[in-house]
A and B are shown apart, each in its own frame.
Chain A
Amino acid sequence: MKQPENNEIDTLLRGWASNARSRSAKPSENVAGSHLDADELSSYAEGVLPVAARARYTAHLSDCDECRKLVAELTEARPLPAGDQVVTDVNRSWRARLAAFFAPSVLKYAVPSLAVLLIAVVFFATRNKEDVRSVALKTELPVSSSSAPSPFVTSDKGGSPQAATSETSKTVTRTSSSPQGQTSQAQDEDRTRADKKDNEERAKQTADTATAAATDASRRAEADAKHKSPAPAEETVVVAPPAAAAPAPTAKVVANAPKESDAEARDAMAGSRERGGPSKGGPSKGEVASKNAGGRGQDKTETRSLSSLQAGIASNDQQRIVAGRKFRREDGKWIDVTYKSSMAATTVARDSEQFRALVADEPEIEAISKQLSGEVIVVWKGRAYHIK
């Protein structure tokens, strides 16, 4: 059907309705049979009638202006009926939730948002490139001076300088907020700048290897580890990805890893601490950064931003917005964020008359109680209600 034709019939209907209204200005001119009684009107408005009875009343309402207006008035006070396409969060299965997450309407906003987020991260990383390099170089020193290079050092050398820089930039991004890290960085700045060119050249020399191994860096690192030694470095490489999401456990794992020497252990600890905790700077920075490099630095930036986004989504399970109100999950209850512990809450059981009276006056509260299962504390018109 073409839109203009629909518009024409729409206009025609409006005109006809207007004429009909003015012709039957007197009430109840077109009554079809006896009017509905109060019970029928309210049951219809509440949508609780059996299908056949409802159809009978629908036929009456379509012809009786008076009853129709009453039903419309009574329906206005009711929340949206359940059972239609509107699916509440409570009733949705995980499959439906997943589908909703990837729905075009969501992606329409999510994809540009992610793109903007990525651009922001890349921009930030590029902006701090100088600092990053200095940190990377600073951490290179002990590696180069190490007499017994560990497998991850190999993987480090195999990694491209860009990747190492990118990965380290994340470290710096996180540690830059730490005053200790900044101080340490300032102290080492001159030294690291002096070594900067040399290190870059060295990194370029290893770039060929890095390009070949870029896509398979982690596998190679594992392979190296198997062939050379079960060094703690391999442990660190393995645990590195979770470290992005949960820094503290990583530090623990590294600390528990077999130690070749106290110095190495300290390095490993410092490196892992740097990932999550306050940075103190130190030789292991370069190791940790380079271990994870292997040409995947950029990808990791994306992965990390995605994981942080997913963490945000997960935390949304603890928050819900219903009927324009924000609720947080606390002790198994949904609590209105505007609720304060100093407020006296009226306790209302869901099945009680008091509850029905409340929702009859405030239908939104019913919508809230339907969408949020369990105990709910809602602040409504300055009063707090504890719905059980």
Chain B
Amino acid sequence: MSAQPPKIERLISDAAGRLLARADENYSLKSADVTPRLAATLNKYVLRDEPHASEASLVEFLDQLQAGDLCLAIACEGGNSAAWNDLVERYSTTVRSAARSAAGSEDAADDLAQSIWAELHGLRTREDGRPASKLAYYSGRGSFAGWLRAVVAQLAVDQHRKISRLVQTEDDAEFDRIADDTQSVPASRLDPENALTSDSQRRAMEKALASAVAEMEAEDRLLVKLYYFDNLRLREAGAVLGVHEATASRRLTRIHTDLRQRVEQILSSEGNWTKSEIAAAFSEVAMNLHTDFEPLLSD
């Protein structure tokens, strides 16, 4: 914990007292047990972005933390057996269901759940001799159940990556070669001359599109990625952004308009394309792509 200005330290200390009072069960934690966690959370989520945030906003932020969940996590990290009993009793179902949805099989889910409990207990020891538990990273900003789900999901990804690395052999290279071959000879291109023109057009347009997307605001770019790259539905993409499906839909329509204009600008200024060339290229590339992706689009 970095040294805080005295004003903020006092503010955090007061908030710690209120947090302990708010919690249904505070496991006899002292204000000093909670203060470092509050300070770290405040730095991470507020002061890093707004070093001069008002006191009122800091107090509001601290008072919105999940008091009960945070006390439970801190008490468990401190080795409180009553807290551990509560943790297992309340959240074993959550861990189990999260592991089941993240893992491919029941066995894998069991392994994953076991790994999670091990991580929560702490496999390694810290400098002070206490186990380095993952619980030390729970800030209390979101729900503890949500945090557990995220821990399970991350661990599943890590395990998958490790397994993939082990399995990855020269087959990958072969696969890449086949994939490249497939890409380089699209089934719909029968005329080599047309194919060449169309491919170069397509590459130029994709390049302009990539530039235009990269220039977009992060929120819009995220929507594009969620919708087009991750194949999420508008409702799901909207939920990630915290907006309703209708809002996401309107936003996507605006993005289409903006992107079209920007791509046209790029092609015109950087590629010296005329308006008619751009219009023709758009319709031709879109038509060819539509043919290529028709089976996918019809889903």
Q: Does B271 belong to the interface (CB within 8 Å)?
A: no
Contact B236 A76 (CB under 8 A): yes
Given A19, A83, A86, which contacts B206 in the complex, CB threshold below 8 Å? A19
Q: Considering the chains assembled together, what is the distance between the CA atoms of A76 and B237 in angstroms? A: 10
> Nearest Cβ distance between residue A377 and chain B, in whole angstroms?
22
Q: Does B31 belong to the interface (CB within 8 Å)?
A: no
Q: Does A242 belong to the interface (CB within 8 Å)?
A: no
Which of B90, B202, B205, B229 has the most chain A CB within a 10 Å cutoff? B229
Q: Considering the chains assembled together, what is the distance between the CA atoms of A68 and B241 in angstroms? A: 11
1/0 per position for B258-276, CB-CB distance to A under 8 A? 0110010000000000000
Given B143, B202, B226, which contacts A46 in the complex, CB threshold below 8 Å? B143
Contact A50 B61 (CB under 8 A): yes
Contacts of B225 in A (CB 8 A): 61-62, 65, 68
1/0 per position for A24-38, CB-CB distance to B under 8 A? 010110000000011
Closest chain A residue to B154, Cβ basis: A38
With A42-B143, A50-B61 given, is the CB distance from A37 to B242 under 8 Å?
no
Closest chain A residue to B228, Cβ basis: A17
With A5-B282, A53-B46, A58-B219 given, is the CB distance from A74 to B206 under 8 Å?
no
Given B236, B244, B260, B297, which contacts A14 in the complex, CB threshold below 8 Å? B297
Contact A86 B239 (CB under 8 A): no
> Nearest Cβ distance between residue A84 and chain B, in whole angstroms?
5
Contact B257 A6 (CB under 8 A): yes
Closest chain A residue to B45, Cβ basis: A53
Q: Does B103 belong to the interface (CB within 8 Å)?
A: no
Q: Considering the chains assembled together, what is the distance between the CA atoms of A126 and B21 in angstroms? A: 72
Given A8, A46, A72, which contacts B236 in the complex, CB threshold below 8 Å? A72
A contacts with B, residue count (CB < 8 A): 70
1/0 per position for B183-227, CB-CB distance to A under 8 A? 100000000000000000010011001100000001101101110
Q: Considering the chains assembled together, what is the distance between the CA atoms of A74 and B109 in angstroms? A: 17
Stretch at the interface among A207-215, A272-280, A295-303, A354-362: A354-362
Q: Considering the chains assembled together, what is the distance between the CA atoms of A224 and B11 in angstroms? A: 79
Contact A353 B24 (CB under 8 A): yes
Q: Does A11 belong to the interface (CB within 8 Å)?
A: yes
Q: Does A59 belong to the interface (CB within 8 Å)?
A: yes
Given A39, A47, A80, which contacts B147 in the complex, CB threshold below 8 Å? A39
1/0 per position for A63-76, CB-CB distance to B under 8 A? 10110111111111
Q: Considering the chains assembled together, what is the distance between the CA atoms of A68 and B145 in angstroms? A: 19
> Nearest Cβ distance between residue A92 and chain B, in whole angstroms?
16
Contacts of A361 in B (CB 8 A): 93-94, 97, 145
With A8-B283, A22-B183, A357-B93 given, is the CB distance from A48 to B256 under 8 Å?
no
Contact B292 A74 (CB under 8 A): no
Closest chain A residue to B263, Cβ basis: A9
Which of A8, A78, A84, A356 has the most chain B CB within a 10 Å cutoff? A8
Q: Does A56 belong to the interface (CB within 8 Å)?
A: yes
Q: Considering the chains assembled together, what is the distance between the CA atoms of A27 and B296 in angstroms? A: 23
Given A39, A357, A360, which contacts B141 in the complex, CB threshold below 8 Å? A39
Q: Considering the chains assembled together, what is the distance between the CA atoms of A361 and B99 in angstroms? A: 12
With A39-B150, A59-B218 given, is the CB distance from A16 to B142 under 8 Å?
no
Closest chain A residue to B205, Cβ basis: A12
B contacts with A, residue count (CB < 8 A): 80
Contacts of B126 in A (CB 8 A): none
Contacts of B91 in A (CB 8 A): 357
Given A16, A72, A74, which contacts B232 in the complex, CB threshold below 8 Å? A72
Q: Does B81 belong to the interface (CB within 8 Å)?
A: no
Q: Considering the chains assembled together, what is the distance between the CA atoms of A352 and B256 in angstroms? A: 45
Q: Which of B236-255 contact A (CB under 8 A)?
A: 236-237, 239-240, 242-244, 246-247, 253
With A9-B256, A85-B246, A356-B69 given, is the CB distance from A21 to B229 under 8 Å?
yes
Contact B218 A356 (CB under 8 A): no
Q: Which of A172-186 contact B (CB under 8 A)?
A: none
Contact A11 B290 (CB under 8 A): yes
With A55-B218, A72-B230 given, is the CB distance from A353 to B256 under 8 Å?
no
Q: Considering the chains assembled together, what is the distance between the CA atoms of A330 and B141 in angstroms? A: 36
Q: Does B117 belong to the interface (CB within 8 Å)?
A: no
Contact B282 A1 (CB under 8 A): no
Contact A6 B244 (CB under 8 A): no
Q: Considering the chains assembled together, what is the distance between the CA atoms of A131 and B215 in angstroms? A: 78
Q: Considering the chains assembled together, what is the distance between the CA atoms of A70 and B141 in angstroms? A: 18
Q: Considering the chains assembled together, what is the distance between the CA atoms of A43 and B41 in angstroms? A: 12
> Nearest Cβ distance between residue B293 and chain A, in whole angstroms?
6
> Nearest Cβ distance between residue B90 and chain A, in whole angstroms?
5
Q: Considering the chains assembled together, what is the distance between the CA atoms of A59 and B49 in angstroms? A: 14
Q: Considering the chains assembled together, what is the distance between the CA atoms of A59 and B48 in angstroms? A: 15
Given B61, B145, B256, B283, which contacts A6 in the complex, CB threshold below 8 Å? B256
Contacts of A65 in B (CB 8 A): 225, 229-230
1/0 per position for B123-163, CB-CB distance to A under 8 A? 00000000000100111011111110111011001000100
Contact A74 B282 (CB under 8 A): no
Q: Considering the chains assembled together, what is the distance between the CA atoms of A205 and B144 in angstroms? A: 84
Contacts of A8 in B (CB 8 A): 260, 282-283, 285-286
- Give B residues with C-beta under 8 Å from A: 24, 44-46, 48-50, 61, 64, 68-69, 72, 86, 90-91, 93-94, 97, 134, 137-139, 141-147, 149-151, 153-154, 157, 161, 164, 179, 183, 202, 205-206, 209-210, 218-219, 221-222, 224-226, 228-230, 232, 236-237, 239-240, 242-244, 246-247, 253, 256-257, 259-260, 263, 282-283, 285-286, 289-290, 292-293, 296-297
Sample of 20 A–B contacts (CB below 8 Å): A5-B282, A6-B260, A10-B256, A16-B206, A16-B209, A17-B228, A25-B179, A37-B154, A42-B142, A42-B146, A46-B143, A53-B44, A55-B49, A62-B222, A74-B146, A74-B153, A80-B239, A351-B24, A353-B90, A357-B94
Question: Nearest 6 pairs between A and B by C-beta?
Answer: A360-B145, A52-B49, A38-B150, A42-B146, A17-B228, A15-B289
